[in-house]
Amino acid sequence: MIPATALLAILPILLIRSGSTAGVTVARLCTVLYIAARIVPFVVRASGIAVGHHVRAKTQNRRELLLAKVEAEENDFAAKRAATHHKTEDEDWDKLDSESAGASSAGETADKNWRGVIGFFHPFCNAGGGGERVLWAAIRATQKRYPRAVCVVYTGDHDVDKNTIIQKVEDRFNIHLHPPTIHFLYLTTRHYVLSSTWPHFTLLGQSLGSLILAHDAFSLLVPDVFVDTMGYAFALALSKFYFPLVPTGAYVHYPTISTDMLGSLSAVSEAGEGQTQGLNAGAGQGLKGTLKRWYWVLFARLYSWVGTFVDVVMTNSTWTQNHIQQLWGPRLKKVRCVDSVILSWQLSRQGAPTEHGQYPIEVVFPPVAVEELEEQIEVSEATEKERGPYLLYIAQFRPEKNHQLILHAFAELAQSWAKDSQEERPRLVLIGSVRNPEDATRVYRLRLLAHELKIKESVEFICDATWPQILDWLRRASVGVNGMWNEHFGIGVVEYQAAGLISVVNDSGGPKLDIVVEMDDGATGFHATTATQFAQGFRAALGLSTVEKVAMRLRARQSAGRFTESVFASKWLVQMGRLVELQRTLHPRRDGR
């Protein structure tokens, strides 16, 4: 196919040769369009870089103040440690294997001396969910490998200060951060990425809102490396627009749009009776549904284009990787216009490849406290007596977690349970964080549903549980539940397995493809889709003999060994090493500061 610009260049010659007045007029128009097609992109990119230069200059003073504050806090931290002679986890960084982290001894020395600023874009860092565990584990691993680097978190959580956040991270995830080299910059425009701000065209609205939020972040501080850990790909594109030489990285928990989402617009019945396909199931019917489908297709193309501006891409599961490869796989091999000139020149000076996006999209499974759970919770025939017929669902109280489905399934189980049975009746325990008033309202409605289903006395809600509380229930429960359709990964499911619970999960996404899989030719749990199938899974799990239960629990624990924090740290540092090396290559005379 002939490119449009080439056609505009050839067409005027042919029209002028035709000799007609109309031909000459059209030829002139084509010439103007050709020149515009060549110049406009250059002007746009030059304008973006000019804005970026202005933003960087404007924030330079704040950067210097921040670095001075880091140094002061580091000195104060060291003085207090020396005075108390108390060795803490913060200073006793585990030495990660250099080979697994992709660094030589000389490289490790350079890493320890690298003094760059790494910006983590995570506007809801205090939410306390699985995505936040990834953020904090990533920062902890980064602090260990680059102890002189500064990790800056861009957040909109104005109601909490640094010490409160760090304490919550320790209480909720048992992750110990090094306070002096982590700082928080507070965004004032987070409401632009809330779905409530965009009642119509929500996907596009939130994506455009993330541009406003990203500009807000850069107006506070321009980092040396910019990493999005929450799924705002448009923020990464804006970073490249303003700062072509700032390496960008993305940890993708869930693609903003996917082919499964497009498929979910079909009627529910097309996927099978009782099948659930997310919040938009069946929304593609009629004129409104057709327009929605076109809108999603166009947005998917835009999202695919935005993905080409990311240097390093990590996904949290096989399911996510498959979709991101479909969307971002055909990545640009060269940066256009001004970027191509600057970037290729810089890289060629260092003898490095001049291609952009040369790194493959790789799966980096989220970190789970597998080792701690294995240490804290014993799985054996002796401890089987300590477990009750309790079904545990650990998930934030968000709509997509589909708590309603699990309540209906549990109601079926409760109704079929023999009333004269001497065995203890099953109990459903729902544990999750409540981020905002909307989540609180959601919990209230779930309580009403439990009352309507006549299972109120057998359902317990635990909001914003501490890690010790979660540990206690993981030790006492028998079955772990996940009801979300196309759960991108499922950290809670891995926690179930590490604790020895038998999982009953939605037959889709990460729980199906990566987690609840066979080990040693035996099952590690059950898959379900409808409320009836979940109820059947609950009965099957609770009905196993003691020997069968222990065997399945041990297989599940073996499966969880693939998702440890150490495995995550080593894989994360490979990707972070690529970003830092790219920053060093583009700024050979700077140490990041």
pLDDT given for residue 577 in this prediction: 95
Q: Is residue 55 part of a domain?
A: no
Name the DSSP letter for residue 564.
Answer: B
267 vs 245 pLDDT, higher one: 245
pLDDT given for residue 326 in this prediction: 87
* Domain extent at residue 265: 87-367+567-586
311-354, pLDDT tens digit by residue?
A: 999 999 999 999 998 888 755 443 333 344 455 545 555 444 44
pLDDT given for residue 333 in this prediction: 41
Mean pLDDT is lowest, of 21-25, 379-383, 415-419, for 21-25
- CATH number for the domain spanning 472: value is 3.40.50.2000
Instruction: DSSP for 460-496, please give it.
Output: EEEES--HHHHHHHHHH-SEEEE--TT-S--HHHHHH
Q: Is residue 66 part of a domain?
A: no
Q: Is residue 70 part of a domain?
A: no
Element (H, E) at 185: strand 182-186
User: Tokens standing for 441?
Assistant: 């309202």
Mean pLDDT is lowest, of 35-49, 63-77, 391-405, 561-575, for 35-49
Residue 411 has pLDDT above 90, yes or no: yes
**Phi and psi of 129, rounded to 5°?**
-100, -170
Are 323 and 457 found together in one domain?
no
Q: Is residue 67 part of a domain?
A: no
How confident is residue 156, by pLDDT bands cut at 50, 70 and 90? very high
How confident is residue 55, by pLDDT bands cut at 50, 70 and 90? very high
Are 519 and 539 found together in one domain?
yes
Mean pLDDT rounded to a whole number for the chain:
83
* Closest by Cα among 230, 287, 298 to 262: 298
CA dist list (Å): 135 to 59, 175, 337: 25, 11, 34
Q: How far is 304 from 207, CA to CA, in rounded Å?
A: 13
Instruction: DSSP for 322-384, please give it.
Output: HHHHHHHSS--SS--HHHHHHHHHHHHHTT----SS-SPPEE-PPPB-HHHHHHH---STTGG
61-79, pLDDT tens digit by residue?
A: 999 999 999 999 999 998 8
CB 538 within 8 A of CB 479: yes
The side-by-side arrangement of strands in the sheet containing 312-315 is: 182-186, 150-155, 117-121, 225-228, 248-252, 312-315, 362-363
What is the SS3 assignment for 506? strand
pLDDT given for residue 288 in this prediction: 76
Rounded percentage of the chain residues whose pLDDT exceeds 90: 58
pLDDT given for residue 460 in this prediction: 94
Are 436 and 536 found together in one domain?
yes
Instruction: DSSP for 537-556, please give it.
Output: HHHHHHTS-HHHHHHHHHHH
Are 157 and 269 found together in one domain?
yes
Task: Give Cα 523 distance to the centre of its chain.
Answer: 28
* Closest by Cα among 26, 35, 40 to 5: 35
Mean pLDDT is lowest, of 129-138, 291-300, 540-549, for 291-300
Residue 483 has pLDDT above 70, yes or no: yes
Q: How far is 389 from 402, CA to CA, in rounded Å?
A: 22
What is the SS3 assignment for 433? coil
* Closest by Cα among 37, 56, 36 to 48: 56
CA dihedral 124, 129, 177, 219 (to 10 degrees): -10
Degrees, nearest 5: CA angle 481-266-538: 20
Q: Is residue 114 part of a domain?
A: yes
pLDDT given for residue 5 in this prediction: 54
CB 319 within 8 A of CB 488: yes
432-452, pLDDT tens digit by residue?
A: 988 888 899 999 999 999 999
Residue 300 has pLDDT above 70, yes or no: yes
pLDDT given for residue 491 in this prediction: 86
Residue 96 has pLDDT above 80, yes or no: no
Instruction: DSSP for 275-329, please give it.
Output: ----TTTTTT-HHHHHHHHHHHHHHHHHHHHHGGG-SEEEESSHHHHHHHHHHHS
314 has which bridge partners?
251, 362
Q: Is residue 32 part of a domain?
A: yes
Are 233 and 246 found together in one domain?
yes
| Residue 331 burial class via C-beta count within 10 angstroms: exposed 0-12, middle 13-18, buried 19 and up | buried
How confident is residue 281, by pLDDT bands cut at 50, 70 and 90? low
268 vs 135 pLDDT, higher one: 135
What is the SS3 assignment for 60? helix
Are 29 and 156 found together in one domain?
no
Are 399 and 358 found together in one domain?
no
Cα Rg of the chain (Å, integer) = 27
Q: Is residue 346 part of a domain?
A: yes
C-beta atoms surrounding 117 within 10 Å:
21
258 vs 571 pLDDT, higher one: 571
Are 458 and 577 found together in one domain?
no
Q: What integer is the mean pLDDT of 462-485?
A: 92
Residue 83 has pLDDT above 90, yes or no: no
Are 341 and 293 found together in one domain?
yes
Residues with Cβ within 8 Å of residue 282, at least 6 apart in sequence = 265, 266, 267, 268
Amino acid at position 444, single letter? Y
Rounded percentage of the chain residues whose pLDDT exceeds 70: 78
Q: How far is 171 from 488, CA to CA, in rounded Å?
A: 25
How confident is residue 42, by pLDDT bands cut at 50, 70 and 90? confident
Residue 273 has pLDDT above 50, yes or no: no
Residue 179 has pLDDT above 90, yes or no: yes
pLDDT given for residue 423 in this prediction: 75
Q: Is residue 576 part of a domain?
A: yes
Are 380 and 337 found together in one domain?
no
pLDDT given for residue 271 in this prediction: 39
Name the DSSP letter for residue 232.
Answer: -
pLDDT given for residue 270 in this prediction: 41
Q: What integer is the mean pLDDT of 82-87?
A: 67
Are 578 and 527 found together in one domain?
no
Residue 226 has pLDDT above 90, yes or no: yes
pLDDT given for residue 356 in this prediction: 45
State the total domains in the chain: 3
Are 337 and 287 found together in one domain?
yes
